[in-house]
Structure 1
Amino acid sequence: MDTILGPLYYVVSWIIVQFHAFYSLIFNKDSGWAWGLSIVSLVVLIRICLIPLFVKQIKATRNMQALQPKMKAIQERYKSDKQRQSEEMMKLYKETGTNPLSSCLPILAQSPFFISLYQVLNHIAQGKVVGVIDKPLLESARQAHIFGAPLSVKFMDSASKVESLGASLTDVRVVTVIMIVLMSLSQFYTQRQLMTKNVDLTVKTPFMQQQKMLMYVFPIMFAVFGINFPVGVLVYWLTTNVWTLGQQMFVIRRNPTPGSLAFQQRQERLRAKGKLKEDPAQAEAREAAESARAARQQPKRQPKSKRQTGGPGHSVASSGKTTLEKQDQESGEAKAKPAGGAARGAKSGQRKGGPQRPKHPTKK
């Protein structure tokens, strides 16, 4: 490990020494503030350099979310042929220009610095010169305390080792436990924010289940591994978690995933400020709906006096009633006619059915 990462030991130790020289102008050079802020500044510098990779990570994560339905279809289609399934997956990645490892680039790029810092602090705890940290700086770093805990000690170190650095085991364990809890909570909140606000809610994919699982796995990992890390490494890890949380909050607010809750909230904010330009098709559909709503008027209810005395409805009803009454009256009169009427009808029928007058011969 020392042979492979040896050059990085010099890089990490040189950066820390430069920041330590700057903070020594403000604080005591042997204080935990000078050395602790040097580690924090190292994190900030590394994360600033990793911003381009972070942007690629965001794009890769969104592409993977969009591809989840197609990936699931490929898995179902070639369930019994793993080789064909792998080939189709690689073909899909190539067609869409997606790299599954892009979402891990910031972590992979940061890992060598994390390991190098761990080894530098481990050398300091053992009293060994490392990188550009010579004997005077080594002794200064060993005596540096943060809230009573030396930067080079661990939760699992013995009481004799901790006391040799001028601290108590209780102070070391209280500080390390608090830092581990803060690390776990910051990681949990970061992952939960990603799951609840920046995931497309219209698509249910296995990717969401994986993210949900990681939301609970990472805090447990921090708790397990944290007790074996020096206090200085815990400072580094807590700082990078806080940076990640703030960076993600900024991205979710300014550039959320389409279809997510954060995207809807951003659209509402822009609409309230009048900065959201509405799609012409949506504007046309909205105007058509409003016109149809305006044209669809409910009939007005007329007062009782108007319904009784006037109005077209009353006239139609009256005329209908009059016609019925006339028909009833005529039928009643017909029934009440004397028998003479029937006799006259019979005579007229005889006249119609009687012998006809001979027609005059047509003159030739």
Structure 2
Amino acid sequence: MVLVLAGCGTMDPEKNPINPANGFWDKFFIYPLSTLMDWFAELLWNQYGLSILIVTILIRFLVLPLTLKQYRSSKKMQLIQPDMKKIKEKYKDDPKKQQEETMKLFQQNGVNPLAGCLPLLVQMPVLIALYHAIMRNGEIHHHEFLWMQLGTPDPLYILPTIAALTTFLQQKMMSSQMPSQMQALLFIFPVMIFVMSMNFASALPLYWIYSNLFTIVQSYFLYGRSSNNKGGQLK
């Protein structure tokens, strides 16, 4: 997702300002989010750093039902992993029969293997629109928040460091849901986030930090607390 966002065209608000006349994307996604941040900034003493926080939390709560759906699908898949392994071993020489038995297993347990992907695909346009709304908002670009100017990289590297640390913590809390071969991402992604945050306008790593903190709290309630109840059935 980070790499997709990095390649979404110029984010300079002077070269590519937000304009509802630009088309469907700007009119119905980016412009409303940008206007909402302007409105919250007016309420919050003209502090766009706080406005980004509020809008990030609102967006994450709006997509929370989809996140919960993705979580339940993931847990169901985990519960049937032992049975899937038995099917693979039993029919290792008959791929067609293996596929048939796997589909039967899915049907018996009410598992849709694509259910975990759909919520993510639905969230992507909203999160990308929020990214554009932050980076192409001229007011945010020239605004100062705490020690930084939101339109330029953090010269003290404080934001990149916090962004990398919160990314690591976020992935660490979800590591129990990750296949063993993906454990290396625990270290790769934080490094990538740090390097990119050194070069991106401060508003973006600030958004990543807010989003990571929300995900850490969310993961605690979804994965951390449920880890004490392994083997329990999801309804």
Q: Same fold (TM over 0.5)?
A: yes
Match of 2:145 in 1: 146
Please give the alpha-carbon distance, in whole angstroms, between the structure 2 residues aligned to 1:149 and 1:58: 36
Match of 2:64 in 1: 51
Q: 1:122 to 1:195 in 2, by over 3 A?
A: closer
- Check conservation: 1:179, 1:234, Cα contact below 8 A: yes
Aligned sequence identity (%): 30
2:155 to 173, 178, 182: 173
Which residues in structure 2 correspond to 1:316-331 (within 5 Å)? none
Distance apart, 1:21 and its partner CA: 2.5
* Residue 186 (1) aligns with residue 203 (2): no
Please give the alpha-carbon distance, in whole angstroms, between the structure 1 residues aligned to 2:210 and 2:220: 16
Which residues in structure 2 correspond to 1:70-109 (within 5 Å)? 70-82=83-95, 84-109=97-122
Distance apart, 1:55 and its partner CA: 1.8
Match of 1:66 in 2: 79
Please give the alpha-carbon distance, in whole angstroms, between the structure 2 residues aligned to 1:20 and 1:143: 13
Distance apart, 1:254 and its partner CA: 5.4
Which residues in structure 2 correspond to 1:255-294 (within 5 Å)? 255-256=226-227, 258-259=229-230
1:246 to 212, 217, 220: 217
Distance apart, 1:229 and its partner CA: 3.8
Please give the alpha-carbon distance, in whole angstroms, between the structure 1 residues aligned to 2:44 and 2:109: 52
Distance apart, 1:47 and its partner CA: 1.0
Distance apart, 1:48 and its partner CA: 0.8
Please, what is the CA RMSD of the aligned residues? 3.3
Match of 2:26 in 1: 9
Q: TM-score, normalised by structure 2?
A: 0.71
- Check conservation: 2:92, 2:98, Cα contact below 8 A: yes
For the pair shown, the structure with the greater C-alpha radius of gyration is 1
Please give the alpha-carbon distance, in whole angstroms, between the structure 1 residues aligned to 2:198 and 2:91: 45
Please give the alpha-carbon distance, in whole angstroms, between the structure 2 residues aligned to 1:121 and 1:193: 27
Paired AA for residue 241 in structure 1:
N
- Check conservation: 1:8, 1:113, Cα contact below 8 A: no
Moved over 6 A (4+): none
Match of 1:113 in 2: 126
- Check conservation: 2:135, 2:203, Cα contact below 8 A: no
Match of 1:131 in 2: none
Please give the alpha-carbon distance, in whole angstroms, between the structure 2 residues aligned to 1:213 and 1:57: 23
SS of structure 2 residue aligned to 1:190? helix
Moved more, 76-85 or 89-98: 76-85
Please give the alpha-carbon distance, in whole angstroms, between the structure 2 residues aligned to 1:51 and 1:113: 13
Question: Of the two structures, which has the highest relative contact order with CA contacts closer than 8 Å and spacing of 6 or more?
Answer: 2
SS of structure 2 residue aligned to 1:244? helix
Q: Where does the alignment leave 5 or more consecutive residues of structure 1 unmatched?
A: 125-137, 156-171, 200-206, 264-364
- Check conservation: 1:143, 1:150, Cα contact below 8 A: yes
* 1:6-52 Cα shifts (integer Å, max 9, x gaps): 5343333323323422432442x4xxx2x222222221111111121
* 1:138-194 Cα shifts (integer Å, max 9, x gaps): 3x33321234433233x5xxxxxxxxxxxxxxxx332xx332332332232233334
Paired AA for residue 75 in structure 1:
K
Paired AA for residue 142 in structure 1:
H
Distance apart, 1:210 and its partner CA: 4.4
Distance apart, 1:120 and its partner CA: 3.8
Please give the alpha-carbon distance, in whole angstroms, between the structure 2 residues aligned to 1:225 and 1:90: 42
Paired AA for residue 119 in structure 1:
H
Paired AA for residue 7 in structure 1:
F
Moved more, 8-17 or 80-89: 80-89
Match of 2:13 in 1: none
Match of 2:189 in 1: 218
Q: 1:254 to 1:79 in 2, by over 3 A?
A: closer
Q: 1:195 to 1:121 in 2, by over 3 A?
A: closer
* Residue 20 (1) aligns with residue 38 (2): yes
Please give the alpha-carbon distance, in whole angstroms, between the structure 2 residues aligned to 1:237 and 1:48: 16
Q: TM-score, normalised by structure 1?
A: 0.49
Please give the alpha-carbon distance, in whole angstroms, between the structure 2 residues aligned to 1:6 and 1:78: 53
SS of structure 2 residue aligned to 1:24? helix
Please give the alpha-carbon distance, in whole angstroms, between the structure 2 residues aligned to 1:54 and 1:100: 15
Please give the alpha-carbon distance, in whole angstroms, between the structure 2 residues aligned to 1:223 and 1:86: 42
